[in-house]
Amino acid sequence: MDEFDLIKKYLAPISSVESQFLMNDGAVFKPKINLDYVVSTDTIVENVHFNGDEAPELIAKKALRTNLSDLAAMGADPEFYSLSISLPKVKAKNFIKNFVKGLKEDQEEFKIKLLGGDLTAALNLITITINIIGTVPNGKSYSRSKSKINDLIYVTGVLGLSNIGLLNLNNNDKKFSKAKLKYYLPQPRIKFSSKIRDLVSSMIDISDGFLQDCRHLAKSSNLEFVINLNNLPICDIDLLSYEDRLNAALIGGDDYELLFTSPPSHKDKIAKIAKSHSLKVTNIGFVKKGRNGEVISKDKPLNTDAYKHF
């Protein structure tokens, strides 16, 4: 099968009217009125972001979900995505067949449509890029720079679980099941994010580790972020020490949880919306004027280095 056969057999059936069923050189959509369009891009590379021996369905979902998490961080509802896959010819048919199964399931779960993309040969390793497009009411997208003094700092979910999953992929103890699942299948907080649009001052998604992303938020807002580590939602796997669990929460990557700030007056509203989404949302600190751009705990800067690509 050449690339045209693969596209026709596997990708066209999961494509959209707007993609023109992948028959032309581009997709065409008519923008909705009174909405801003939000665009983000994430790439995953074999042997860097995934091993290559995962089920292609899971790789597909993770690729899509890391992008959905960026939309969540902007407060946007998913609309469309474009997909580029570069992969060795010998792997192509089997990989794409199963990859598309994962895409199809998540397209339905997250109400997002395939616009188009590209399928190219690569020598050895698989590279997947997704470009995602979402919508948000005019002027309502979040930024990282609008935290205010006295705002409370919140995170969704449990931090560090994904990193612990990654470190224990070959450990068959059932106590690691949830962590491994979180690593393979992150849960972008799309719905919760869109429900708190009038309550948020700043937001980021935690993908490179809590500490690093928290510092991005503090720097962008040019304020001091004070964190109470005792309140950080770390996992409760009792095979691991407190230090290991805390460390994973601080610097482990791949959480795809939301970190955001909000005025104290909205605390009850946020708790109520979180409850209605069965989502753990934890107040972990507050914003102040002081050592601007720094993340502080017990009056000292938190300084452990999170994962960096270069």
Using CB under 8 A, which residues numbered 81 to 100 contact its own copies? 82-84, 86, 89, 92
> Under a CB-based contact definition with an 8 Å cutoff, are residues 126 and 46 in contact?
yes
Expressed in angstroms, the distance from the first to the final Cα of the chain is 37
Packing angle of the helix pair 210-221, 242-251 (nearest 10 deg): 50
Q: How far is the CB of 152 from its own copies (least distance, A)?
A: 20
Three-class SS state of 150: coil
CB of 89 to its own copies, least distance (A): 5
What number of chain residues touch its own copies (CB under 8 A)? 73
Point out which span in 123-131, 235-243, 275-283, 285-293 binds its own copies (CB under 8 A): 123-131
Among 60, 63, 64, 76, binds its own copies (CB under 8 A): 76
Three-state secondary structure call for residue 192: helix
**Position among 10, 11, 15, 49 found at the interface with its own copies (CB under 8 A):** 49
CA atoms of 128 and 5, how far apart (whole Å): 19
Q: Which of 13, 17, 48, 94 binds its own copies (CB under 8 A)?
A: 48
Three-state DSSP state, 242: helix
| Residue 257 DSSP code | E
Of the pair 59, 240, the CB lying nearest its own copies is at 59
Please identify, among the stretches 55-63, 80-88, 106-114, 235-243, the one whose residues bind its own copies according to the rule CB under 8 A.
80-88
Burial 223-238 (b: 16+ CB within 10 A, else e): bbbbbeeeebbbbebe
53 is a site residue for its own copies (CB under 8 A): no
Q: Which of 15, 107, 131, 147 binds its own copies (CB under 8 A)?
A: 131
Binding positions for its own copies, 258-287, rule CB under 8 A: none
Per CB under 8 A, contacts with its own copies among 192-211 are 203-205
**Which lies closer to its own copies via its Cβ, residue 70 or residue 224?**
70
DSSP codes, 67-99: HHHHHHHHTPEEEEEEEEEEE-HHHHHHHHHHH
Question: In angstroms, rounded to a whole number, what is the distance separating the alpha carbons of residues 114 and 8?
Answer: 14
Cα separation, 310 vs 305, whole angstroms:
13
CB of 3 to its own copies, least distance (A): 4
What six digits make up the tokens of 110? 């997250």
User: What is the 8-class DSSP label of residue 31?
Assistant: P
- Region near its own copies per CB under 8 A, out of 115-123, 160-168, 227-235, 282-290: 115-123
What angle do helix axes 89-110 and 56-74 make, rounded to 10 degrees?
50
> Which of positions 143-202 make contact with its own copies (CB under 8 A)?
143-145
Nearer to its own copies, 74 or 164 (CB): 74
Q: Does 51 bind its own copies (CB under 8 A)?
A: no
Site for its own copies in 8-47 (CB under 8 A): 20, 23-31, 33, 35-45, 47
* CB of 97 vs its own copies, minimal distance in Å: 13
